[in-house]
Amino acid sequence: MTPSIPRLETERLIMRAPSEADFEAEAKFFASDASKFVGGPLRPDETWRAIAMLLGHWAMRGYGFWGVEEKDTGSYVGHVGLWCPHSWPEPEIGWTLMNNATGKGYATEAALAARSHAYDVLGWETAISLIDPENLGSKAVAERLGAQFDYTFEHPAFGTMQVWRHPAPADLVNGGIEAYA
């Protein structure tokens, strides 16, 4: 089964199906210590399987992570999207940016588009972001999205994680963060 993955666009980004073309950038990222908060470091063969897993999630759940690239340059910047594999406490909005793409607001911009898709298209009534307690960058993104710390979760593979709760659709204007600006 080939999943149907919608293409989303934001002001600066294109969110499209993950592809093998993302492998080189993902392998470089997952070989670095920066990947420690998202299951890394990984060997190249493990990274290839991780990309395949992103596509498989779309096929199994009907939603997942998008590959994200800069609209102006076509440069791959990471993967952002919706996630809820077995053992996850609730449906999640997640983000992983390549080392050269951090600090530009891309995670927030793409996560807003993903959250709008979850609420407006998929009908989600709530969403979380599962964040390592030491991942200060992801906590800052969650806060910019209006999410608040909710509870601690013990993941069988990743250990202690923090669950950050996103505002419900009724608390937002058109899925955005206008109410928190």
Instruction: Give the pLDDT of residue 179.
Output: 42
Which residue, among 35, 37, 8, has the nearest Cα to 129 in the 3D structure? 37
| Residues 6+ positions from 123 with CB-CB distance below 8 Å | none
Domains within the chain, CATH numbers bracketed: 8-126 (3.40.630.30)
The span from the CA of 172 to the CA of 150, in Å, is: 18
Q: What are phi and psi of 63, to 5 degrees?
A: -155, 170
- pLDDT of 35: 83
Q: What share of the chain is helix, strand, coil (3-state, %, to 5)?
A: 40, 25, 35
Compare 37 and 174 and report the one with higher pLDDT. Answer: 37
* Whole-number Å distance between alpha carbons of 55 and 26: 14
Distances (CA, A) of 92 to 16, 24, 81, 147: 18, 26, 8, 12
Helix axis angle for 44-61 and 23-30, nearest 10°, is 120
Q: State the Cα–Cα distance between residues 58 and 30, nearest whole angstrom.
A: 21
What are 44-73's pLDDT values in tens digits?
999 999 999 999 999 999 999 999 999 999
**According to the model, what pLDDT value does residue 174 have?**
57
Across the chain, what does the average pLDDT equal? 93
Give the separation between CA 44 and CA 127, rounded to whole angstroms: 31
CA distances from 44 to 28, 32, 36, 140, 169 (A): 8, 11, 15, 29, 39
The pTM assigned to this predicted structure is 0.93
Of the candidates 65, 61, 28, the one whose C-alpha atom is nearest the C-alpha of residue 47 is: 28
